[in-house]
Amino acid sequence: MKAIEITGLSFTYKGSEKKAFTGIDLDVEEGSITAVVGKSGCGKSTLLRCIAGLCPRVYQGEMVGTISIFGEKISSISHVSLSTIVGIVFQNPATQLFSPTIEDELAFGPENLCIPREEIGNRMNDVLRIIGLEKHRNLNPANLSGGQQQLVAIGSVLTMRPRILLCDEILSWLDLEGRKAVRDLLIELKKHGTTILLADHRDEKIDIADKIVRL
């Protein structure tokens, strides 16, 4: 099954003369890792924002073409259900973390969806295990290493149980150890059937990708 199907997509930010990208076609198989590569400014972040529904809902502009998520046109999926299907993680983990403890950070998304307490607890335990931070659950994310912070940022999206995870240059700010931990996590998530789309401006770190798409 296709997790993401994009045809003839282009996006122009409001007030901008030129398109962020034009005529993108892309198929992403469910349960695969796809890397979107290309130099800075070629539109990788914009593409991920379109798939996550942030363009044009949050970032205003004109989108042409179609995006389907598991066979359903994105325009017909509500904002809330899209946010439970597609999760997005950004380059700098520090900008995404704001809670006093890792537990609070992981609970934030599902709490907003009014998911029952017990279910949130179960999800939190699953995610803490998969990101390997069970022992640190009560620590403040600000006191973690960059790599651990990125694991928490990914974890805070995983408690929403997204079927698709979009990662925008999430390895860029990490040291070798941090990168390895995040890579291992992505491989583990793929084993669980999560579809992953990674944007990166370098090719070298994407040996885990099943498919590489150049923008």
Residues engaged in binding ligand ADP (CB under 6 A):
13, 16, 20, 38, 40-46, 59
Report 63-122 residues binding Mg ion (CB under 5 A): none
3-class secondary structure, 158: helix
3-class secondary structure, 15: coil
The residue sitting closest to Mg ion, measured at its beta carbon, is 45
Site string for Mg ion, 140-169 (x = CB under 5 A): ------------------------------
The residue length of the chain stands at: 215
Rounded CA gap, 109 and 203, in Å? 32
In the complex, least distance from residue 60 CB atom to ligand ADP, rounded to whole angstroms = 9
Report 27-56 residues binding Mg ion (CB under 5 A): 44-45
Rounded CA gap, 53 and 33, in Å? 20
Q: With contact defined as beta carbons under 8 Å apart, do 86 and 53 qualify? A: yes
Q: Where are the alpha helices (DSSP H) in 100-166?
A: 102-112, 117-131, 146-158
- Which listed option, ligand ADP, Mg ion, none, makes contact with residue 59 (CB within 5 to 8 Å by class)? ligand ADP
Task: Give 31 or 38: the residue with its C-beta nearer to ligand ADP.
Answer: 38
Task: Give 40 or 78: the residue with its C-beta nearer to ligand ADP.
Answer: 40
DSSP code for 110 = H
In the complex, least distance from residue 114 CB atom to ligand ADP, rounded to whole angstroms = 31
Closest by Cα among 136, 162, 164, 165 to 149: 136
- Which listed option, ligand ADP, Mg ion, none, makes contact with residue 70 (CB within 5 to 8 Å by class)? none
Task: Give 91 or 148: the residue with its C-beta nearer to ligand ADP.
Answer: 91
In the complex, least distance from residue 46 CB atom to Mg ion, rounded to whole angstroms = 8
In the complex, least distance from residue 153 CB atom to ligand ADP, rounded to whole angstroms = 18
- Which listed option, ligand ADP, Mg ion, none, makes contact with residue 13 (CB within 5 to 8 Å by class)? ligand ADP
- Which listed option, ligand ADP, Mg ion, none, makes contact with residue 31 (CB within 5 to 8 Å by class)? none
Task: Give 107 or 166: the residue with its C-beta nearer to ligand ADP.
Answer: 166
Task: Give 40 or 76: the residue with its C-beta nearer to ligand ADP.
Answer: 40
- What HEC string does 21-59 produce? EEEEEEEEECCCEEEEECCCCCCHHHHHHHHCCHHHHCC
Closest by Cα among 67, 69, 66 to 3: 69
- Which residues touch 207 (CB under 8 Å, ≥6 apart)? none
